Amino acid sequence: MKKMLAVLLTIMMLSGAAAALAEDYSFGTDTAFRPFEYTDETGTLVGIDVEILAAIAEDQGFTYTIEPLGWDASIAACQAGQKDALIAGASITEKRKAEGWIFSDGYYNANQSMAVASGSDITGFDGLKGQSVAVKTGTESKSYADSLAETYGFTVMTFESSPDIYQAVISGQCAACFDDTPIMADYIKSNGVPLQLVPGTESEGADYGMAVFDPEKAELVDKFNAGLANIKANGKYDEILAKYLGN
């Protein structure tokens, strides 16, 4: 009897250890933030964030689900405990850290800049006086636009997604938009939209990071960091960037 109990206890301990090793996490992400996350022509979620997460999960031996809820909804889901983490081109800032965001190491450095309609005579911030500009709510691009609005005399209008802010400019609702530079550059190139980046309007930039909002999920940050270091060392990281950004 004692031997049987000992065997059962051993099995339970091993099962518990296996479960701990096979940790499963849920991620929220954006819906249309190409080339970091977007749905391709087959309806599959793809992008730099998506493939970096997959490579890190494989390296670290955890499983996960990822759902494109949208930027605001993903943040809300994480804060409510409905998702474990956010991976959505989130800029690492001191303000967000102070608000409770717990970031991984940075995995891509991006700045923000301004775009206008093709053929526009606006060549810089001075041309925005009395105009409206479009930004995505809750982003570094909004913070960047807000920091310039009073100096250059323009009004900031918020929208839910990057495609929405581009359409606001194309339709004439806004004179310009602010967004992460690689996102706008990819959108213009991939979709042939009548927008153009304005040279000289770039911000200093910041790293993108994966984020959790619950200190009890900090072990996921450690796993992400370890996996990120490994995929950088073995070349997988560069392979992913080359696939979506070119060489």
User: Strand 63-68 and strand 24-29: pairing?
Assistant: parallel
Q: Would 91 be classed as within a structural domain?
A: yes
pLDDT score of 247 = 62
Q: Would 60 be classed as within a structural domain?
A: yes
Shared-domain flag, residues 40 and 102: yes
pLDDT score of 22 = 56
In whole angstroms, what is the distance from residue 15 CA to residue 12 CA?
5
pLDDT score of 205 = 87
CB 112 within 8 A of CB 205: yes
pLDDT score of 199 = 97
Q: Would 225 be classed as within a structural domain?
A: yes
In whole angstroms, what is the distance from residue 91 CA to residue 163 CA?
19
Q: 178-211, pLDDT tens digit by residue?
A: 999 999 999 999 889 999 999 999 999 899 999 9
Q: Would 8 be classed as within a structural domain?
A: no
> CATH number of the domain that 33 lies in?
3.40.190.10
In whole angstroms, what is the distance from residue 8 CA to residue 134 CA?
62
Q: Who's near 19: CB < 8 A, 6+ residues apart?
A: none
Mean pLDDT taken over the chain: 92
Q: Would 10 be classed as within a structural domain?
A: no
User: Strand 102-103 and strand 206-212: pairing?
Assistant: antiparallel
Q: 116-130, pLDDT tens digit by residue?
A: 999 999 999 999 999
Q: Would 5 be classed as within a structural domain?
A: no
Shared-domain flag, residues 105 and 41: yes
pTM of the model: 0.80
End residue of a domain, out of 158, 179, 197: 197
Q: Would 228 be classed as within a structural domain?
A: yes
In whole angstroms, what is the distance from residue 94 CA to residue 62 CA?
29
In whole angstroms, what is the distance from residue 26 CA to residue 65 CA?
5
CB burial readout 166-188, b (16+ within 10 A) else e: bbbbeeeebbbbbbbbbbbbbbb
Structural domain total, the chain: 2
In whole angstroms, what is the distance from residue 240 CA to residue 146 CA?
33
Q: What is the mean pLDDT of each run of 10 residues along the chain (247 residues)?
A: 39 42 88 94 97 99 98 97 98 96 97 97 98 96 97 98 96 98 92 95 95 97 99 98 88
pLDDT score of 13 = 42
Shared-domain flag, residues 81 and 47: yes
Shared-domain flag, residues 163 and 231: no
Shared-domain flag, residues 104 and 210: yes
Parent domain of 163: 112-197
Q: Would 61 be classed as within a structural domain?
A: yes
Which amino acid, residue 170? I
For residue 52, what are the CA distances in angstroms to 48, 131, 199, 200, 228? Answer: 6, 39, 30, 30, 8
pLDDT score of 246 = 81
Shared-domain flag, residues 104 and 49: yes
Shared-domain flag, residues 127 and 105: no
